[in-house]
Structure 1
Amino acid sequence: MYKMPKLIDTDRVFAKPNTDNLTGHVRWSPAKSIWTILHTIAGLTGIFLFPQWDALAVFIILTAITICAGHSVGMHRLLIHRSFKTPLWMEHLLVWLGTLVGMAGPFGMIRAHDMRDWHQRQIKCPPHPSHDAGFWKDAYWQIHCEYLLTHPPRFEIEPKVAKDRFYRFVEATWMAQQLPLAIILWLIGGWAFVLWGISLRIALSLTGHWMIGHFAHRRGQQGWYIKNLPVQGYNLPGLGLVTFGENWHGNHHAFPHSAKLGVEKGQFDPGYILIRAMGLVGLASDIKYPGSEPMRDGLQRTETF
């Protein structure tokens, strides 16, 4: 009789006696799917109805702010990995900007990230969290569906975050958090600014996030290899500016605690530049680097660049 190997726990995910990371199913998520489809239609409508340079500028500026300061720095490096410290009001601001990306609230982002990370740290990983379903199927699964285990592990967010009133409010209203910004954009530039600055931004951010996640777990440069794990991270050179450093995913797999993702010479990392700038004005401290914590078990240097 086949015996399941012992599952590896992570900081927020803990296997129960009956937990099985391989038995589950992919299910269409109506809210997630409809949210994405509506913003995609509205964003494309904005392009055709309002082909304006000022609307394009709004799209670019807001995308840069929400992806870099919000998603990469606030949600990923700060809230999820605690790779640096900042005053609570600044943390709240950065995470709120990350919520404006349109993927999920703070708790939803932590859960999505940590469950995928937990799956990828096991001896075997199913196709959904490994991005191993093929390009088009993975796109459908990641953007429109959710993966449900028959016997899931226990998931716990640290009390300091879980009990934070601001995070609880934003989590409960994360879709509605677009409304204050939408009103401001409408007052300044009408529907053109709303469709470009809200809907098109959300649609392309969600699609771009999936594409980076897909390719960063499939192929590219490595530099580092984690022995005995089924899913490796890969670096995607040339995308540092548009991903704000999230393209250095091979480095991130090697050093998940590090605030600096572009750890090799010439690896452009705008997110880390922002953190360093915050440090210079006293808004970031205890910034972590690859050597700030012990190396991951099985981490090896590879010459695959």
Structure 2
Amino acid sequence: MFYQERNNVEDLKNQAFYRFLKRTYALHTIAFAALLYVVGGFSYIVWVLGVAGTLGYHGTFLVNSVCHIWGSHVWNTGDLSKNNWWVALLSFGEGWHNNHHAFEYSARHGLEWWQIDVGWYIIRFLEVVGLATNVKLPSKDHKLKMSFASLNKFE
């Protein structure tokens, strides 16, 4: 399977704030490291940038490894992505990986009431207080289209 150039972030490319962040990314990292050093010395740099950064990357790798091997395949995504409850608990909802593959635009990965998704709870709070707008969720029609039941609808 060959990946084509991604065009799903065109709306971000049009916003000056995100273009600024892309151009000045290294400066933000250096400024943050300097702030950490001023506040707590070299040990803060090690723990916040080194250890926390390493744990963050390992969490990402965990989701992308485990959730393509173990779990339940709920949606007809045409790939090996799976939902894994214990990864979802460790990664604040990212373990509902098959949901994410089925509805990549969705701010909510835990689509069922029992699927704990801390990331969604935070986004929902930000929406309620007015700091997040235009939050996207899958429609009932899109869920029906992605369901395995929809495979049999033309028989």
TM-score (norm 1): 0.43
Q: Larger % of strand: which?
A: 1
**For 1:214-266, what per-residue CA distance to the aligned partner results, in whole angstroms no more than 9, with x for missing partners?**
2212221222233xx2x232112123343121111111122223222111232
Q: Does 1:215 align with 2:66?
A: yes
Partner residue of 1:277?
Answer: 125
The alignment partner of 2:148 has SS state of strand
Per-residue deviation at 1:273? 0.5
For the aligned residue pairs, the C-alpha RMSD in angstroms reads 2.6
1:283 & 1:235 partners in 2: Cα distance? 29
**1:238 aligned residue (86, 91, 111):** 86
Partner residue of 1:206?
Answer: 57
Gaps of 5+ in 1: 1-19, 22-118, 120-152
Code of the aligned partner of 1:202: G
Gaps of 5+ in 2: 150-155
Contact 1:178 1:198 in 2 (8 A): no
TM-score (norm 2): 0.78
Code of the aligned partner of 2:69: R
Contact 1:224 1:251 in 2 (8 A): yes
Code of the aligned partner of 1:300: F
Q: Sequence identity, in percent?
A: 28
Pairs aligned (count)? 149
**Greater RCO, CA 8 A, separation 6+:** 1
Per-residue deviation at 1:277? 0.8
**1:161 aligned residue (4, 7, 12):** 12
Q: Does 1:247 align with 2:95?
A: yes
**1:187 aligned residue (24, 28, 38):** 38
Q: Does 1:196 align with 2:44?
A: no
Per-residue deviation at 1:290? 2.9
1:160 & 1:266 partners in 2: Cα distance? 32
1:176 & 1:209 partners in 2: Cα distance? 24
